[in-house]
Amino acid sequence: MLPFARNIGGRTSLRVSSFHSSPFQNPFPLFFTLSSHSSQNSIFARPIICFTNFLCVIRYPFVSKPSFDDIASESIRSFMQQDGPHMFDSALAPIWVSKVLVKLKGDPKSALKFFKEAGARPGFRHAAQSYCVLAHILFCGMSYLEARSVIKDWILLGREFPGCDFFDMLWSTRNVCRPGFGVFDTLFSVLVDLGMLEEARQCFWKMDKFRVLPKVRSCNELLHRLSKSGKWKLASSFFKDMVVSGLSPSVFTYNIVIGCLVREGDLETARSLFEEMKGMALRPDIVTYNSLIDGYGKVGLLTSAVNVFDEMKDAGCEPDVITYNSLINCFCKFERLPQAFEYMYEMKQRGLQPNVVTYSTLIDAFCKAGMILEANKFLVDMIRVGLEPNEFTYTSLIDANCKIGDLNEAFKLESEMRQAGVNLNIVTFTALLDGLCEDGRMREADELFGALLKAGCTLNQQIYTSLLHGYIKAKMIENAMDILEEMNKNFKPDMLLYGTKIWGLCRQNKIQDSKAVIHEMMDYGLTPNSYIYTTLMDAYFKVGKTTEAVNLLQEMQELGIEATVVTYGALVDGLCKKGLVQQALSYFDHLTRTGLQPNIMVYTALIDGLCKNDCVEEAKKLFNEMQDKGISPDKLVYTSLIVGNMKHGNPEEAWNLRNRMVEIGMELDLHVYTSLIWGFSRYGQVQQAKSLLDEMLRKGMIPDQVLCICLLRKYYELGDINEALALHDDMMRRDLISGTIDITVPSINT
């Protein structure tokens, strides 16, 4: 079977030329041109007769329905005829391409192909109009992804079209296809995706003017982007624009805006929107409730947070781990540890497992309250259930151990942190450096500071402050002044910098100079905070100006500065050290009435003061009270009670306290052993005292000579001459005493 074609009505030659053989360079290789310029002799004007073994078919190709190649070729040929061989060098070439695209509006795929081939030509650039025309064509042809891609490319190249307004250009070409406004939503959405948030807002205003509004989902994405970038006021403003334009916000819309308002601290408006969405028959979800709970909790409105939580449960919205973490965090932050534990228990009862955030929050709260043992127990439990401590967990523990002077444990945790692959952050380094400075290990602190500088770490003001504190404590005033000069150069004067200056002056008992700095900061527009007043209060107590120290609390109240637990701690400690324990108890009661929770430092100061001022029974009551509140007594509390009981003739009670320390794993130190040996010696229980002396010697602790003489003298007083002589020889051999023992032994009461 051999099909062939004849030209009916005249013989003509037909040549299909290649791109290179055309007398006019064809800019699009996918199109071919015809050698004849006469439509009379063209194949486009004459039918083709095809003969087969079975039938004869007469066809008129490219007549009834022009193909893509036909239209494109005719357009190209026409353009070439007008402008000759350099048509793509003409400034009118982009306009011609736009016209071809319009002709191809019925065939989106061909239009896109034509657009890409034109754009691939060296030196040729599409006009903005071509992008818009093609976007309309593709969108009308339901090629939505391709339309989005074209709009995105156009916007990215927008800087090449000076003064081009994306919406205006797209609007001006809207009549290319049948009316349809989804393409404008795509434009808005692409602007948001590219992070052009201000341009997206301006686009929205024009869309609102011409009533071609974007979808709520697209608006939500802009709100989300504004929220993530911290532009909360802009997000709230855009939300108002949405509502005014007639769009109906979704639950997701309200969640974003409520979250912004909460972060901005505008809880009243957030609550108002919460009520508004319920009035619109929109059901708040877990995100809505969690935002409000977290917002109320962070500013200390704990009752409001709990009310929202109860409302959440009543509405049938099940709390999740984030809900409970928010509640636990806010109760820990405002020193309500018992309530925080209640929520952790409830959380477990509901079958929710505490996560790293839950454990880390409670560990940090224990650390801040000085309850290191409980913090360590939680750390162990956290690892036991398969959770890995993060940098926040480790840093809390490191900081707490540094604050109590246990640098060995702090650096052990730092080593564990590195081995676990957890990065140390600037807060961790600051805690370690602060611990070294507090311990007087300034050489090591200098080395750490130098290593951080060498490593290129960006050092914050806090780390400079720690080093400054260390130099002042070590009386290295010249070094301290050098650091202070560096801080003045590198940091803008703020509350922390002024507070550091005041602390340094107070450490040197330069109270008048401290007050001058306070006046300076007030002239600068800064109001002294509770930390500065607490520092000044402590300094007044140390120089014996008790009345001035107490008056500072009244001054704080008059200025509207809220006293913290630390402020009351300094007040109670200062009064106790001056023997004014009843006044200290009065302020302790005032502390609890204000809703603040006394911490370990307040209890320790008061118990120590009561024991030293013959108020052991009151001290015992406080000892029991702090344990009932979940606060574990520290070593100083036990030592104070041991000394107090020994002074008041209760050696058995003192021994029971010692046993409790051993049971909970608390190491007895030199002060505890000294108190016990001295007490048992005083009451004639020399064998018990001797046993404790041997125990402390085995642990490598060396008693002072006065304690050894006290025990020896008691042996002589009791008539145990042989044992006294043996003990004397043993002490001489160990270099615990020297010379004669016939000296006056201080009374236990001194």
- The model's pLDDT over 256-293, given as tens digits with 9 standing for 90+, comes to 999 989 988 889 999 999 999 988 888 999 999 999 99
Instruction: Specify which residues 6 forms β-bridges with.
Output: 49
**SS3 category, 668:** coil
* Least-confidence region, from 137-141, 157-161, 718-722: 157-161
Contact 737, 728 (CB under 8 A): yes
Structural tokens at position 519? 């006046």
Per-residue pLDDT tens digits for 440-466: 899 999 899 888 888 888 888 888 888
Model pTM score: 0.59
Q: Which residue did the predictor score with more confidence, 196 or 739?
A: 196
Mean predicted confidence (pLDDT) in 568-575: 92
**SS3 category, 615:** coil
* Three-state secondary structure of 520-532: HHHHCCCCCCHHH
Contact 584, 576 (CB under 8 A): yes
Measured from the Cβ of residue 60, the count of other Cβ atoms closer than 10 Å reads 11
714 Cβ contact partners less than 8 Å away, ≥ 6 residues apart: 681, 682, 684, 686, 689
> Could you give the angle at the alpha carbon of 372 between the alpha carbons of 366 and 374, nearest 5°?
65
Per-residue pLDDT tens digits for 398-431: 999 998 888 999 999 999 999 989 888 888 999 9
**SS3 category, 409:** helix
- Asked if pLDDT for residue 158 goes beyond 80, the answer is no
State how far the Cα of 221 lies from the Cα of 190, in Å rounded to an integer. 11
- Asked if pLDDT for residue 79 goes beyond 60, the answer is no
**SS3 category, 115:** helix
Categorize the per-residue pLDDT at 168 as very low, low, confident or very high, splitting at 50, 70 and 90: confident
Q: Cα 252 from chain centroid? A: 23
Residue 208 burial (10 A CB sphere; 0-12, 13-18, 19+): middle
Contact 532, 499 (CB under 8 A): yes
Contact 39, 45 (CB under 8 A): yes
- Asked if pLDDT for residue 724 goes beyond 60, the answer is yes
What is the predicted pLDDT for the residue at 390? 92
Q: Which of 14-23, 174-183, 383-392, 691-700 has the highest mean pLDDT?
A: 383-392
DSSP character string of 346-373: HHHHTTPPP-HHHHHHHHHHHHHTT-HH
What is the predicted pLDDT for the residue at 56? 39
Share of the chain above pLDDT 90, in %: 26
State how far the Cα of 22 lies from the Cα of 655, in Å rounded to an integer. 112
Instruction: Specify which residues 567 forms β-bridges with.
Output: none
Per-residue pLDDT tens digits for 672-700: 888 898 888 888 888 888 889 888 888 88
What is the predicted pLDDT for the residue at 34? 32
What is the predicted pLDDT for the residue at 747? 43
For 653-690, give one letter per residue: b (16+ CB within 10 A) or e: bbbebbeebeeeebebeeebbbbbbbbbbbbebbebbb
Per-residue pLDDT tens digits for 82-127: 443 455 566 677 788 888 888 888 888 888 888 888 888 877 888 8
- Asked if pLDDT for residue 42 goes beyond 50, the answer is no
State how far the Cα of 619 lies from the Cα of 651, in Å rounded to an integer. 16
State the Rg of the chain over Cα. 42
Which phi and psi (to 5°) does residue 57 adopt? Answer: -120, 125
CA nearest neighbour of 300 among 269, 332, 323: 332
- Asked if pLDDT for residue 54 goes beyond 50, the answer is no
- Asked if pLDDT for residue 137 goes beyond 50, the answer is yes
State how far the Cα of 543 lies from the Cα of 553, in Å rounded to an integer. 17
Contact 368, 331 (CB under 8 A): no
Strands ordered across the beta sheet of 5-7: 5-7, 48-51, 56-59
- Asked if pLDDT for residue 252 goes beyond 90, the answer is yes
Instruction: Specify which residues 58 forms β-bridges with.
Output: 49
Residue with tokens 């913290």, as numbered in its chain: 564
**In Å, how far are 39, 259, 373, 476, 573 from 565, measured between CA atoms?**
99, 31, 21, 31, 12
State how far the Cα of 686 lies from the Cα of 65, in Å rounded to an integer. 121
Strands 16-17, 48-51: pairing is unpaired
Mean model confidence pLDDT for the chain: 81
State how far the Cα of 153 lies from the Cα of 146, in Å rounded to an integer. 11
Contact 235, 260 (CB under 8 A): yes
Strands 16-17, 5-7: pairing is unpaired
- Asked if pLDDT for residue 319 goes beyond 90, the answer is yes
Contact 94, 88 (CB under 8 A): no
DSSP character string of 496-565: HHHHHHHHHHHHTT-HHHHHHHHHHHHHTT----HHHHHHHHHHHHHTT-HHHHHHHHHHHHHTTPPP-H
CA nearest neighbour of 203 among 192, 216, 217: 192
What is the predicted pLDDT for the residue at 111? 86
Mean predicted confidence (pLDDT) in 357-379: 90
Strands 56-59, 16-17: pairing is unpaired
520 Cβ contact partners less than 8 Å away, ≥ 6 residues apart: 498
What is the predicted pLDDT for the residue at 9? 39
* Least-confidence region, from 5-14, 142-151, 211-220, 651-660: 5-14
State how far the Cα of 396 lies from the Cα of 398, in Å rounded to an integer. 6
Residue with tokens 């002396």, as numbered in its chain: 693
Mean predicted confidence (pLDDT) in 559-570: 89
